[in-house]
Structure 1
């Protein structure tokens, strides 16, 4: 099982949804970085369950412990181990699907691959694992702060309900002002009410998160196979429930002519090379060009719903799977900090690789 991500700034996550704990080991973090425990806890608090009635009501403080790699408030350059102990597991909620395959879950594929599966909340396939990524991503943000890099993600679409405004027309400081994490208050209220109705119906809904990476210097990213957008795509597609990724003009760009889509260069008053437009999404040839990097990530509806569904059990017999337990009717609000974290991990690795490439 691949539980490690990164070339230089490497993270390895461990643990299961209903195990004793989850955690992460970070190897390759530079020494001398001011270790900000408050930043890590704040990011974990943004992801943790039980934030509002439109999220799962599982109660986890998601407080973490530092086991290694930090001394007197600074990173030492050695592996940093962070652990989060699980507190509110209700494994009995999953006893009824111990031998059943839940539709659109990883139950069948894990069972086929490994011959055994942890049915308690999905075990390793559970989104609970992403708390470890968020902790590691916060550490990556600490490094990126030295370069002034800013990372924003927000909910821009729920079902067919789409925010028409571009990120340039939004106040991104307002992302956390509401439970949906949409920086447009009017649209956020509509999205909240829609998600709440879906919850009452026992169903689920998906949507889109938009990401914006600002102040990324030109020159980050590796050509050919490790292009910066390819790394972003891999990292973001590794998040539970993600079904699609596009950056820059994305699929809409196919409707433009080359003369319309090309980003013309110019030199600004400070002698810096800029582009008049940014259809490239801040990346050209797989390498950052200094403009804003922006992308969209599509999330499917949460697979667990409170409506009976047809399925089969491990013996291949037809069964009915009944929804039970505590689940998000829409994963988007809690997925925002996960998108932030994976973006930060991609960028910090790209930054360190760019340093290696220059003597």
Structure 2
């Protein structure tokens, strides 16, 4: 796995920057005969594109129109590399010219400059959240593969700006503002978003990702554990600073008598393990949560240094969301899909299942 490629058998390689001509990718390893066209991928891209965050949205507008370049014929995958491209159409790179020699707090400016001795200051280049458009396209292809296996994936917001939601309807959340599993919490979230926006600040939150219909046996012992793969997949999304599986951190505060998932003749009686035991899927829903930090671009003066190490202050301009939620939800959903598709095909390559 390289810095721009995810997966071993089902592999996604991405390219492009926030303020370049466009972004895209190549999916290798997808079996032939999977129904796929641009409209299927576009459904997922439309959930991530700018303007989907309601009151928390950026003013940058991008159609994020997908163009499949290869690997699909007459509405089905051919088994060869699937290339795709998404054009950038609404860049305003001049917004960043005044801060090209200043490190933005909370961004990757400092570390990119230290590692490479050079950086693309226009929106952060590869470190920009816009890079995730390619992940969503690749994840949409993975989801079409998983659909043929009866596997579905949902991503919904369980906490926004410190205000928690009840999980009443995670399937309906896919068509609800902020991907909320609780329609009654939306007014409280929007009130809080308005308050924070007026204070020129930003918000974080927690997204739960659930995969249903999985077979028993996905994942490899020791270093290839399913939960380890999920953690890596979700943590490689820029705004994610923590990942839980199942009961997660609460397990550390519990007891074995409460945290163990007992069984009877009908199966498991609870799912504190999040659908994974010993790094291998148990056949239950696989449940993970991603903890998303606040957007670091804020309209408040912050202390920093220049590229020459000189103390200064910065006010980050440009067009930014107040929160990565809800636009990050389809990204996290895609990373889960890519992980499961890779593990599923790895099992088949190893002859573990038909």
TM-score category of the 2 structures, normalised to the smaller one? over 0.9
Q: Secondary structure at the match of 1:297?
A: strand
Taking the aligned partners of 1:179 and 1:261, their CA distance within structure 2 comes to: 33
Which residue pairs with 1:354 in the alignment? Answer: 347
Which residue pairs with 1:260 in the alignment? Answer: 258
Give yes or no for contact 2:55–2:193 (8 Å, CA) kept in 1: no
- 1:232 paired with 2:230, answer yes
Q: Deviations over 1:37-69 (max 9, x none)?
A: 222101000000023331111110000111111
For structure 1, the residue ranges without an aligned partner over 5 or more in a row are 269-273
Taking the aligned partners of 2:90 and 2:328, their CA distance within structure 1 comes to: 20
Question: Pick from 181, 184, 188: which aligns with 2:186?
Answer: 188
Taking the aligned partners of 1:267 and 1:354, their CA distance within structure 2 comes to: 27
Compared with structure 1, are the counterparts of its residues 23 and 320 closer, same or farther at alpha carbon in structure 2 (3 Å cutoff)?
same
- 1:296 paired with 2:289, answer yes
Q: 5 Å matches for 1:168-317?
A: 170-268=168-266, 274-317=267-310
Give yes or no for contact 1:177–1:183 (8 Å, CA) kept in 2: no
Question: Pick from 62, 66, 72: which aligns with 2:74?
Answer: 72
Deviation at 1:264, TM superposition (A): 1.8
Which residue pairs with 2:320 in the alignment? Answer: 327
Give yes or no for contact 2:38–2:68 (8 Å, CA) kept in 1: no
Q: Secondary structure at the match of 2:347?
A: helix
TM-score (normalizing by structure 1): 0.95
* Alignment length (residue pairs): 350
Give yes or no for contact 1:180–1:192 (8 Å, CA) kept in 2: no
Give yes or no for contact 1:36–1:142 (8 Å, CA) kept in 2: no
TM-score (normalizing by structure 2): 0.96
Q: Deviations over 1:165-222 (max 9, x none)?
A: 3x4xx22232144332212111122112212221222110111001111111101111
- 1:18 paired with 2:4, answer no
For structure 2, the residue ranges without an aligned partner over 5 or more in a row are none
Which residue pairs with 1:271 in the alignment? Answer: none
Which residue pairs with 1:127 in the alignment? Answer: 129
Deviation at 1:162, TM superposition (A): 1.2
Q: Deviations over 1:76-104 (max 9, x none)?
A: 11111110000000001111110000001
